[in-house]
């Protein structure tokens, strides 16, 4: 079916029953009231951060730090001057000097008390003879694994590899 035919039939029936078409006024657009914005505040001019007063002051400070750099590491100089190491490294790069290298770490051999180690070795042997495992000895004596290994190696203490099972 054609919708326009149905519409015409409905219109004819409406007019035949005495209906009338009334034309209504259309929508009238009313614009919003204008907003009232406060006047913008004038922008304040920012002060440029104060740097060194002039180039001579910067150069004299760099010369002083260069003298320190001959005998100090960058970290030591930073602690003494209470500035960051980054600022000192950038100054060294800018003015062409370098700091003393920090000494490389050299592990020192720790000295242990032989008498205390001997007493500990006796206790470890006694616990081993009773049938206590290495880990239980470490927990019982409250020592570390490194200490246990050092004493076992130093005194030649041997622990059984496997725990002996009881025969039924």
- Tens of pLDDT along 100-141? 888 877 777 788 888 999 999 999 999 999 988 899 999 999
pTM: 0.36
DSSP letters, the chain, are: --HHHHHHHHHHHHHHTT----PPP-----PPPPP-PPPPPPPPPPPPPP--SSHHHHHHHHHHHHHHHTTS-HHHHHHHHT--HHHHHHHHHHHT--PPPPPPP-PPPPP--HHHHHHHHHHHHHHHHHT--HHHHHHHHT--HHHHHHHHHHHT----SSPPPPP-
Q: Domains of the chain: which residue ranges?
A: 55-95, 114-155
Question: What digits encode the pLDDT tens for the residues 97-106?
Answer: 888 888 877 7
In this prediction, residues 88-101 reach a mean pLDDT of 88
């Amino acid at each position: 079916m054609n919708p326009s035919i149905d519409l015409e039939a409905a219109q004819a029936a409406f007019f035949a029953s005495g209906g009338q078409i009334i034309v209504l006024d259309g929508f009238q657009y009313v614009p919003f009231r204008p907003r009232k914005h406060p006047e913008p505040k004038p922008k304040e001019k920012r002060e440029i951060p104060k740097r060194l007063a002039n180039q001579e002051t910067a150069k004299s400070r760099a010369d002083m730090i260069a003298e320190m750099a001959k005998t100090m590491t960058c970290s030591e100089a930073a602690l003494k001057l209470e500035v960051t190491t980054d600022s000192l490294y950038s100054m060294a790069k800018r003015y062409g000097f370098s700091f003393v290298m920090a000494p490389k770490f050299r592990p020192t051999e720790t000295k242990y008390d032989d008498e205390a180690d001997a007493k500990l070795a006796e206790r470890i042997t006694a616990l081993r003879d009773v049938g206590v495992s290495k880990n239980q000895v470490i927990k019982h004596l409250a020592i570390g694994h490194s200490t246990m290994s050092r004493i076992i190696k130093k005194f030649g203490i041997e622990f059984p590899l496997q725990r002996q099972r009881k025969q039924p």
